[in-house]
């Protein structure tokens, strides 16, 4: 379903402990998430990724992101992202709509 970016901003509160996104975003516990869709996994400059993430061969698009965010450790065994995942499809739709607002730097 088509996501709602405003609702996705609230879903992103679950990510904010570790991730920033937007004009002033910096890498933190996790990499900044600007320009996510269309980008190869593990390629934000200055962030120290796990080998598992860097070598995953994933390009982030809606399909790969959906699989990942439902169960990060299933999609990328060995990832250092410690997050149980988003289990509600509607929340995934909404967070995708939210993240799509932010292009690459």
Q: Judged by CB, which is closer to ligand HEM: 36, or 97? A: 36
Between residues 24 and 46, which has the closer beta carbon with respect to ligand HEM? Answer: 46
Nearest approach, Cβ of 65 to ligand HEM (angstroms)? 6
Q: To the nearest whole angstrom, how small is the minimum distance from the Cβ of residue 52 to ligand HEM?
A: 6
Residue for token digits 């070598």?
55
Chain residues binding ligand HEM by CB under 6 A are: 14-15, 17-19, 29-31, 33, 36, 41-42, 44, 49-50, 52-53, 69, 79-83, 86, 95
Closer to ligand HEM by Cβ: residue 25 or 52: 52
What's the token pair of residue 95?
A: 């967070």
- Give the DSSP letter string of 38-81: TPBTT--TT----HHHHTS--B--HHHHHHHHH-HHHHSTT---
Compute the distance between CA of residue 60 and CA of residue 42 in angstroms, rounded to an integer.
10
CB of 75 to ligand HEM, least distance (A): 10
93 by Cβ neighbours in 10 Å (0-12 / 13-18 / 19+) ranks as buried
Minimum CB–partner distance for residue 71 and ligand HEM (Å): 12
């Amino acid at each position: 379903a088509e996501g709602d970016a405003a609702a996705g901003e609230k879903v992103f509160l679950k990510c904010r402990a570790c991730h920033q996104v937007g004009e002033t975003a910096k890498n933190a516990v996790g990499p900044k998430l600007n320009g996510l869709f269309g980008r190869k996994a593990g390629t934000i400059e200055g962030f120290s990724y796990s080998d598992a993430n860097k070598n995953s061969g994933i390009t982030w698009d809606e399909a790969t992101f959906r699989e990942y965010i439902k169960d990060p450790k299933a999609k990328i065994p060995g990832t250092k992202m410690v997050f149980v995942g988003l289990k509600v499809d509607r929340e995934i739709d909404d967070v995708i709509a939210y993240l799509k607002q932010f292009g690459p730097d």
